[in-house]
Amino acid sequence: MAPATTKILILGGGFGGLFSALELAGTGDVTLVSDEDHFLFKPMLYEYLSGEVDAWHIAPDCKELLDERVRFVRGVVTTIDLEARAVTVAERAESISYDVLVLALGGVTNFAGVEGAEQYALPFRKLVDANHLRRRMTEALDRVQPDAAPQDARSALTFAVVGGGASGVELSTKMADLLQDALRRRALQGEPRVLVIEMTDHVVPGMGEEIRKFVEQALFESRVEVHTQTRVVRVAPNSIRLEHNHEQTEVATAAVVWVAGVRVNPLVEQLVRGHENIFALGDIAFYKDVVPTLAGTAQLAFQQSSLLASNVRRFIEGRELKSRHFVELGEAVSLGTERAAVLSAGKVISGPLARQARFALYTQRLPTWHHRLRVGASWFFEGTAPRPLQPLGF
Ligand SMILES: Cc1cc2nc3c(=O)[nH]c(=O)nc-3n(C[C@H](O)[C@H](O)[C@H](O)COP(=O)(O)OP(=O)(O)OC[C@H]3O[C@@H](n4cnc5c(N)ncnc54)[C@H](O)[C@@H]3O)c2cc1C
């Protein structure tokens, strides 16, 4: 292949795709296609829900991040024709052809076939999902009358978070803190009720013991109700049916949020293997030599993007491809609006200091120096206090 004119087409503008595009800029003719106009730093979607960060901090425009060496096309990829080496994008008459294809389409929420889940539970993967949930929380608060009895306020403000992994913990503590703060500000009586539903016998099953005790303490302090060994049987418009010890209970809810799993983007499921000019990374990649497996994380997709870029260059030049070991960069979980826990080099710090450390750490992981500096300055000078849940129309 002629390196300068090789058409490299990257599908998906998330962690894998955007960072690959930044790395590959200047190598051949690079096009990035994504269905959103922005990148999303998903680990801080919880802070966006609580208003600790703004959309521009964590979801900068792809066009602002990329320079003229990468063509950005906004659109939904509808088909990938491996034989014709072309991709079709919704509402574009012309297909886009490629010599090298990079698949970085990420995952979608896995509702696991539970009755009503896809229809009525809210996913939590995009900015619009966070906007939707914040609106549901505000509407539920707005329905509580000023003189409501504590038990009525509690039942109107019952939210279920399905999945007790890191996402479920981060989301539920954030929601509980936000709702408690709103009740105080509105001088309402009672407490919100936020439930976490987890199938196994403990929360954050994938995390080590060192960090789990801080997580459990934070759930307790934020008064999140944890239901382990509990299965969701059905989700309805205003309720959730749970099963524990062979007994079923129906809980009335203001909203159910589903963070119980991710599955591969359906577009990728239709493809076949064995095409040497196709590379995949991020949540859709599978590592047959890693036992049990590597979980799809942002830090994995990020590390893969530099390996991918160097392998795409090697492929174009007809050289042998390389592999690389994944380096665990530690864990950082947000625990409500006041604190976090950060595990680094085998040590855990927690509380408000860890929250600051998490902001500092994530500033460094944002794409491009320019964006990092702008966001770092904004967080330093303007602060990162949460935005209270105001009545709608305020
Ligand atoms: C709420 C949340 C919090 C998380 N927190 C952490 C964390 O703290 N630490 C961590 O390491 N990981 C975290 N993760 C996981 C991490 O975000 C993912 O593993 C990572 O984003 C995977 O990168 P990716 O490129 O495979 O997919 P993504 O980043 O999801 O990117 C996929 C892109 O493809 C686009 N796309 C999808 N379908 C189409 C289509 N048909 N046409 C065009 N474009 C399409 C999507 O819009 C998206 O831009 C979190 C995930 C979520 C949802």
pLDDT of residue 391: 81
CA of 42 to the centre of ligand 1 (A): 7
pLDDT, tens only, 135-167 = 999 999 999 999 999 999 999 999 999 999 999
Q: CA angle, 43 as apex, 39 and 44 as ends, to 5°?
A: 80
Question: What's residue 273's pLDDT?
Answer: 83
Q: Which of 232, 239, 159 is nearest to 194 (CA)?
A: 159
What is the pLDDT, as a whole number, of residue 4? Answer: 82
Q: Which residue has the higher pLDDT, 111 or 392?
A: 111
Q: Any residues with CB less than 8 A from the CB of 169 and at least 6 apart, and which?
A: 196, 203, 204, 215, 218, 219, 333, 335
Q: Name the pLDDT band for 272 (thresholds 50, 70, 90).
A: confident
* Distance from the alpha carbon of residue 17 to the mean position of ligand 1, in angstroms: 10
The reply to whether omega before 292 is within 30° of 0 (cis) is: yes
pLDDT above 90 as % of the chain: 88
Distance 12 CA to ligand 1 centre (A): 9
- Supply the residue whose CA is at minimum distance from atom 15 of ligand 1: 297
Q: What's the CA-to-centroid distance between 11 and ligand 1, angstroms?
A: 12
**What are 5-49's pLDDT values in tens digits?**
999 999 999 999 999 999 999 999 999 999 999 999 999 999 999
Q: Which atom of ligand 1 is nearest to the CA of 17?
A: 25
Task: Please write the tens of the pLDDT for every residue from 92-114.
Answer: 999 999 999 999 999 999 999 99
Substitution site in 9, 10, 11, 15 for ligand 1 pocket (most atoms within 8 Å of beta carbon): 15
Sole residue written with tokens 């307790």: 220
pLDDT in the model for residue 89: 98
389 CA from centroid of ligand 1 (Å): 27
Q: Over 80: is that where the pLDDT of 68 sits?
A: yes
User: Tell me: the pLDDT tens digits for 197-225?
Assistant: 999 999 998 788 888 889 999 999 999 99
pLDDT, mean of residues 63-86: 97
Computed over every residue of the chain, the mean pLDDT equals 95
DSSP letters along 312-354, please?
HHHHHTTPPP---------EEEEETTTEEEEEETTEEEEEHHH
pLDDT value at residue 284 = 93
Q: pTM score, two decimals? A: 0.96
Cβ pair 172, 222 in contact under 8 A: yes
Atom of ligand 1 nearest to the CA of 281: 26
Report, as an integer, the average pLDDT of 342-370. 93
Nearest in space to 178 (alpha carbons), one of 201, 163, 164, 159:
159
Residue 394 has pLDDT above 70, yes or no: no
Confidence of residue 393 (pLDDT cuts 50, 70, 90): low
Q: What is the pLDDT of residues 303-355, one digit of tens each?
A: 999 999 999 999 999 999 999 988 888 889 999 999 999 988 888 999 999 99
Kindly report, residue by residue over 244-269, the tens digit of the pLDDT: 999 999 999 999 999 999 999 999 98
> Which ligand 1 atom lies nearest to the CA of residue 104?
25
